[in-house]
Amino acid sequence: MPENKLDKFFTPKSVAVIGASTDKGKIGYGILKNILEAKYRGTVYPINLKAKKILGLKAYPSVLSVEKEIDLAVIAIPAKFVSAALEECGEKGIKNTIIISAGFKETGKEGTKMEAGVIRIAAKYDMKIIGPNCLGLADSTSNLNASFANGMIQKGSLGFISQSGAICSAMLDWANLNGVGFSRFVSVGNKAVISEVELMKYFKDDDKTTAVLAYLESIKDGKAFMEAAAELILKKPLVIIKPGISKASQKAMQSHTGALAGTDAAIRTAFSEVGAVRVDNMEQLFDVAKFLSRYDKIKSNSVAIITNAGGPGVIGTDEIEKHGLKLAKLSRKTEVALKSILPTEANFHNPVDVLGDAKEDRYKFALKALLEDKNVDAIIFILTPQRGTEIGKTAKTLIELSKKSDKPVVTSFIGGKLMEKEIALLKESLIASYDHLSQAIFSLGKVWECEKGKKEAREYLNFYKGALSETIGETIKQAPDFIQSLELLEKYGIPVAQSKVAYTSEEAATIAHEIGYPVAMKIFSKKISHKTEVEGVKIGIKNDLEIREYFDRIKSTLGEDLDGMIVQPMAKGREIILGIKKDESFGSMIMFGLGGVYTEVLKDVAFRFAPIDKDEAMQMMQEIKTFKTLTGYREFPKMDIESVAEAIVSLSRLADEHPEIKELDINPLIVRQEGEKCSAVDVRILI
């Protein structure tokens, strides 16, 4: 791995603990003790204004009192003193600092000011900072435990990034119980300087790390995150918990880290575009971590099951389909081999049922055959404790054979008391062992998602790097009116319905004659944005009398708030909704969905971040559940979806070139039958 500016966080030659203490109740004491107990091989300098010696080491009043170079400083003092300590670190030439101290952005206005000061000092001295308000980090390659966690990580190849120190502590305790090891383990806290972006870039090139897990409450720079994640995913699996689906959890995150959570739609879209795999809770993260700590990939989704009971085999088959996997078709050679050894009542196809009376030798033969079958890329090994089952011998054979193959084997010994010793033995081995069959198959499915994610990551990076284009128009400084909005759509090549403004009922009737009845009318007003709330839309107007009556009635109701009335031809076709929604972190998001109940009730919509190309637009359209109704399905005629895809691409370009647009709704875009194009009938833009 080439030298990286973050290297000295993980493999420093010397560490100063600012706030090291003789008081066992203080965090500074715990951090220093952790460093020493982990058998860190570098030099440690306790920094304390009064103490002469701490835990057998000479103490110094300041980092400036230390004559030799210091690679890493860990700060654990009250927040109000942190800036002064950082200044001294800067003067000393320390480029890497971990701020454990809390009391910054997460506490409110005053804390936010202090955190801004930390950021200024970091810029002044070109200093990299992890934290503040974090647990610290641990590194198994250098035996560094620069944290106040209750324990040290075991050696392994997983990288872990967490915005929550408590989640770090929980992961550490679970991992140590289950024999899961880590290369590097980082709590980022408030992410004042170093965020998940820099760490993902680091892990991408880190030859000690084969997969990365993350718990993220907020993502500060969405575009930078997506680029870094995509580059990492091309080389290694990335699995993330990103909470914040509910409004209550978003509020909790603001009080916890001071970070505003992005909308869940934006998160889902971002992860989907770059191929990042998301899990919903800690239990799922634990399950995937267990697999990735043993195996870093799965070649395909073709899996085989070995079981000594039909029921679990059937359950496993259902779970396989549920998680995007498939039962491998066993080779002729494998089936012939199984028939030659297994009883005639056994199942020689997949799932392979060796029957309830199976001893260790029958399991061994079946497992060996599946490990040698080129059609099988992963194996699910199920055992239930029936009378006569050789649990111990079978477990040892399973471990022995698995060591000789790089083919992933996940196992579930279904039961409890009768298998306690064997389950403990499996947890200590290189096999991914699970208490429940569903956990085993879920983990396989998620790792297969990681493998598939490489395609999305590659496509995202290829398009992302070539997506810049010349801007068509100047910045829009205030929300355009309806006619100006239509003109903007037209400028970007989005077809619009013929629309004219009438300021009197007579003008409206004249325009209707020019257009041809029937027509639609809607209010034209700078003060009223939601037309339907004031009965500001009427369709199917057939004659002059209806036009005059409607115009005069709306005029008398709205008075000065009415600037005029828009007159349009009646549009025939299917209603589609296109939109732009600006996300604070990720930028402009494009929405596509069918109109009416499909969007309002079913929420059947798809999202992408701007800009996108036509292929991506077509994929986006195909994601909604009701897409078939546009393609000539049953009673539905085939619509001009090509023109819709072109409109989506044009809208994405508009969004990309006008980041000042907070929201834009084309509702509806009317799409007609194939060859008849589409047109925007109504549009609303917020700046």
**Residue 519 parent element (H or E):** strand 519-524
* Average pLDDT estimate for 99-107: 95
Residue 565 pairs in a beta bridge with 502, 523
Closest CA to 554 of 564, 542, 541: 564
**8 Å CB contact between 145 and 37:** yes
Say how far apart CA 594 and CA 620 lie, in whole Å. 12
Q: Which residue has the higher pLDDT, 499 or 477?
A: 499
Say how far apart CA 335 and CA 337 lie, in whole Å. 5
236 burial class (0-12, 13-18, 19+ CB within 10 angstroms)? buried
Q: Which of 127-141, 415-429, 568-582 has maximum average pLDDT?
A: 127-141
Q: Is the pLDDT of residue 392 over 50?
A: yes
CATH for the stretch 574-686: 3.30.470.20
Q: Is the pLDDT of residue 539 over 60?
A: yes
Euclidean distance between the first and the last CA atom of the chain, given in angstroms as a whole number: 46
Quote the pLDDT of residue 520.
92
Residue 593 pairs in a beta bridge with 577, 605
The tokens for 469 are: 């284009």
What are the pLDDT digits (tens) for 79-89?
Answer: 999 999 999 99
Quote the pLDDT of residue 394.
94
Domain 297-435 has CATH 3.40.50.261: yes
Query: Would you state the CATH architecture of domain 1-133?
Result: 3-Layer(aba) Sandwich (3.40)
Quote the pLDDT of residue 257.
32
Q: Is the pLDDT of residue 222 over 50?
A: yes
Domain 498-569 has CATH 3.30.830.10: no
Quote the pLDDT of residue 467.
58
Q: Is the pLDDT of residue 534 over 60?
A: yes
Say how far apart CA 623 and CA 641 lie, in whole Å. 14
Average the pLDDT over each of 352-361, 502-511, 624-633 and give the range with the smallest value.
624-633
Closest CA to 505 of 540, 554, 462: 554
What single-letter DSSP state applies at residue 474? P
Rg, Å, the chain Cα set:
31
The tokens for 193 are: 């300087």
Contacts of 233 (CB under 8 A, 6+ apart): 274, 275, 276, 450, 453, 454, 456, 457
406 burial class (0-12, 13-18, 19+ CB within 10 angstroms)? exposed
Phi, psi of 502 (to 5 degrees): -115, 135
CATH for the stretch 153-295+452-466: 3.40.50.261
- For helices 544-558 and 505-515, what crossing angle results, to 10°? 140
Buried b (16+ CB within 10 A) or exposed e, 27-44: bbbbbbbbbeebebeebb
Residue 96 pairs in a beta bridge with 72, 128
180 burial class (0-12, 13-18, 19+ CB within 10 angstroms)? buried
Contacts of 560 (CB under 8 A, 6+ apart): none
Say how far apart CA 158 and CA 178 lie, in whole Å. 14
Quote the pLDDT of residue 424.
86
- Residue 602 DSSP SS3: coil
Quote the pLDDT of residue 496.
94
Quote the pLDDT of residue 17.
98
Quote the pLDDT of residue 262.
43
418 burial class (0-12, 13-18, 19+ CB within 10 angstroms)? middle
Say how far apart CA 521 and CA 567 lie, in whole Å. 5
User: What is 300-361 written as a DSSP string?
Assistant: -SEEEEEESSHHHHHHHHHHHHHTT-EE----HHHHHHHHHHS-TTSB-SSSEE--TT--HH
What single-letter DSSP state applies at residue 109? H
Say how far apart CA 109 and CA 318 lie, in whole Å. 52
Say how far apart CA 178 and CA 136 lie, in whole Å. 22
Quote the pLDDT of residue 256.
35
* Average pLDDT estimate for 636-663: 93
Average the pLDDT over each of 51-65, 238-252, 310-324, 578-592 and give the range with the smallest value.
238-252
- Residue 285 DSSP SS3: helix
Q: Which residue has the higher pLDDT, 309 or 258?
A: 309
The amino acid occupying position 599 is T
Contacts of 82 (CB under 8 A, 6+ apart): 75, 99, 101, 114, 118, 132
Q: Which residue has the tokens 């996940």?
A: 410
Say how far apart CA 501 and CA 176 lie, in whole Å. 71
* Average pLDDT estimate for 240-247: 78
Cβ atoms within 10 Å of 83's Cβ, excluding its own: 15
Quote the pLDDT of residue 252.
53
What single-letter DSSP state applies at residue 417? G
Is the four-CA dihedral 191, 193, 194, 198 of positive or negative sign? Answer: positive
Say how far apart CA 675 and CA 510 lie, in whole Å. 31
What are the pLDDT digits (tens) for 11-43?
Answer: 999 999 999 999 999 999 999 999 999 999 999
Quote the pLDDT of residue 8.
96
The tokens for 208 are: 């000690």
Quote the pLDDT of residue 230.
97
Domain boundaries, the chain: 1-133, 153-295+452-466, 297-435, 498-569, 574-686
468 burial class (0-12, 13-18, 19+ CB within 10 angstroms)? exposed
Q: Is the pLDDT of residue 150 over 50?
A: yes
**Residue 288 parent element (H or E):** helix 282-294
The tokens for 281 are: 């809770």
**8 Å CB contact between 360 and 393:** yes
The tokens for 237 are: 């699996």
Beta-strand ranges (E) seen in 177-292 are 182-187, 211-215, 238-241, 277-279
Cβ atoms within 10 Å of 648's Cβ, excluding its own: 28
Quote the pLDDT of residue 1.
57
The amino acid occupying position 226 is M
Instruction: Say yes or no: do domains 153-295+452-466 and 297-435 share a fold.
Output: yes
Give the confidence band of 258 by pLDDT, cuts at 50, 70, 90. very low
Say how far apart CA 83 and CA 75 lie, in whole Å. 10
Residue % of the chain over a pLDDT of 90: 76
